[in-house]
Every structure is written in C-alpha cells, then in structure tokens.
C-alpha cells in the first residue's frame, strides 16, 4: 500500500480536492438540498480514482524517461518496486472505478466521465510534442470544482467555471516552476516544457503572469460569490486574499539561479493555499 500511495503521490491530492469540495458546497447551498453524504462520498471517490489513474499512467508511460533522470530514477516503476504491467493494471482498475462511481452520481457525470479520462490520461503524452503541456495538467485539475458542482445537479454555472479557470491558471503556473528542475534534462531528450522553450528566467516571468491572471479570476469569483450567496461574507474574502498572497509568496522562493526551494514553492505553499481557501470558503456558508 505504501508503494502504491507513493506511486500516485497521494499527498498531492491536496491541490485539487479543496476546490472539488468548494464546487460541491456551492451547488448544495445554491439548490438548498441539504448535505447529501452519499454524493459527497462519491465525489471524493471520483477524485481519488481519477487522480490515481492519471498519476499511475504518467509513471507507466514515462518509465523509460524517468529511468534516465537522476531526480526520478528512484520512482517505483523505473526502480523496479512496481512492474510496468502491474502499474498499467492499476490504471485500468482506477479508470473503471471512476466511471462506475460517476454512474451512481447522475447521468450527466457518467456521460462526461470518458472525456475527463481522456484529458487526465492524455496529459502524460503532451510533453512529447508541445511546450504547453502544463496547461493540459491544469485543465485536468480544473475539472474538480465544476465536476463536483455537476455531481450535486447544479448544471453548468458561471461561479464554478470561474473557479475552474482559476485552478487552470494556478496549476499551469506552479507546474512551470516545478519543471525548472528538469530543463537541461528535458532539452537533452527533446522533451517539451515552458522552461525548455523560454529558458528559466522567462519561464518564471510566464508563471508569474499566469498567477496574476489567476488572482484576477479569484477576485472576480469572490465578487460573484458575494452577489449570489447572501450567507457568504468576510471569510470568503479572507480565503481569497490568503490564496493570492501565497501565490505571490511562492515566486519569492525561486530564482533562475537558485532552485533549491522549488519543492517548498511547489508542494508546501500551494498545498497550504488550497486547504486554507477551501476550509474558509466552506465555513463561510455555515458560520
């Protein structure tokens, strides 16, 4: 179990999960249906199954690349801890479980589930042909708030779409920062990324630009939230300000000539930002 949790980097679920819960509670409060624990459990299962399939497939598909990279050679598949065949079986199992879980939610989620799988599994191919691979990863995680909103029966609406857009920009920006570590390695294998395309300095500027756009979208969503939900007051604004502040903070941690704090910027800062935002916004409906 420990090996499989490491394979899929289960702890990284913390990035998108709070936004999925935000989408769930937005729809619950809009429709006034009360908390449906069955749907909430199914949403959580969908998050776990979808992300497990995506991460395991990335490890399976990139096993030959990871083996050549000193930073990733210790991963479970190239290190021989989990065989490629077993990893692929794990992907298939989680993909099927994801589809089954959506079937128990509602027909719309079930019909859209193959599209979601194509996006999150297809990401693993993208660095082989485009420098914009980071945006495909961002798109995959951006499905969390709108997907959870649809699960409650809220349909497509402006506010969850704004939060999905914010997640797209946020994740794309911090994935560019993370990719700085492999710029030279990726270039040597003719793999694509924004750091390979633009170089470290301009890649960092591009990431900053994406996070500025993310901050703008988050502020627009906060205004929209205040207009639609009378119960949402000051906590949602504090949540938004803290999230934006931590976006800015991570850009003080990394410089083109000093990547020693990439993991602090990538995991710790973004994980804290997501959790604080999700907890405070959800509390705003009930406090």
Token digits of residue 48: 């776990």
Question: Residue 156's pLDDT is what?
Answer: 86
Within the chain, what is the greatest distance between any pair of CA atoms?
55
Distance separating alpha carbons of residues 220 and 60, to the nearest angstrom: 39
Q: How large is the C-alpha radius of gyration of the chain?
A: 19
Question: Residue 272's pLDDT is what?
Answer: 92
CA angle, 47 as apex, 27 and 92 as ends, to 5°? 140
Token digits of residue 174: 């911090």
> Which parts of 127-180 fold into alpha helices (H)?
133-152, 158-179
255 bridge partner residues? 258
| pTM beyond 0.85, yes or no | yes
Q: Per-residue confidence at 124, pLDDT binned at 50, 70, 90?
A: very high
The residue-averaged pLDDT of 260-265 equals 83
Q: DSSP 3-state assignment of 258?
A: strand
Question: Residue 30's pLDDT is what?
Answer: 86
Distance separating alpha carbons of residues 110 and 88, to the nearest angstrom: 23
pLDDT in tens, 269-283: 998 999 999 999 999
pLDDT in tens, 162-198: 999 999 999 999 999 999 999 999 999 999 999 999 9
Distance separating alpha carbons of residues 98 and 49, to the nearest angstrom: 5
Backbone angles phi, psi at 56, to 5 degrees: -65, -35
Distance separating alpha carbons of residues 166 and 177, to the nearest angstrom: 17
Is 82 within 8 Å of 76 (Cβ atoms)?
yes
Closest CA to 130 of 170, 179, 75: 179
Q: Which domains does the chain have, with CATH numbers?
A: 2-284 (1.10.357.140)
Distance separating alpha carbons of residues 141 and 119, to the nearest angstrom: 10
């Amino acid at each position: 179990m420990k090996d499989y949790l490491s394979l899929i980097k289960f702890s990284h679920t913390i990035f998108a999960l709070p936004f999925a819960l935000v989408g769930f509670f937005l729809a619950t409060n809009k429709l006034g249906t009360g908390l449906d624990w069955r749907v909430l459990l199914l949403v959580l299962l969908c998050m776990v199954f979808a992300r497990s399939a995506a991460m395991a497939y990335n490890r399976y598909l990139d096993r030959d690349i990871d083996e050549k990279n000193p930073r990733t050679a210790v991963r479970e598949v190239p290190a021989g801890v989990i065989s490629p065949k077993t990893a692929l079986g794990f992907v298939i199992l989680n993909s099927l479980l994801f589809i089954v879980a959506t079937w128990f939610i509602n027909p719309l989620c079930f019909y859209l589930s193959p599209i979601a799988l194509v996006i999150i599994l297809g990401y693993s191919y993208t660095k082989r042909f485009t420098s914009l691979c980071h945006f495909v990863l961002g798109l995959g995680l951006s499905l969390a708030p709108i997907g959870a909103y649809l699960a409650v029966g809220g349909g497509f609406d402006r506010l969850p779409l704004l939060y999905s857009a914010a997640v797209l920009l946020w994740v794309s920006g911090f994935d560019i920062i993370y990719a700085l570590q492999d710029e030279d390695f990726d270039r040597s294998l003719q793999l694509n990324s924004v750091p390979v395309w633009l170089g470290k300095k301009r890649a960092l500027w591009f990431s900053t630009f994406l996070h500025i756009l993310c901050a703008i979208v988050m502020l627009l969503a906060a205004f929209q939230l205040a207009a639609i939900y009378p119960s949402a007051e000051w906590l949602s604004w504090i949540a938004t300000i803290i999230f934006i502040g931590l976006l800015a903070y991570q850009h003080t941690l990394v410089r083109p000539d000093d990547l020693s704090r990439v993991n602090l910027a990538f995991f710790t800062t973004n994980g804290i930002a997501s959790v604080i935002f999700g907890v405070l916004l959800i509390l705003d409906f009930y406090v």
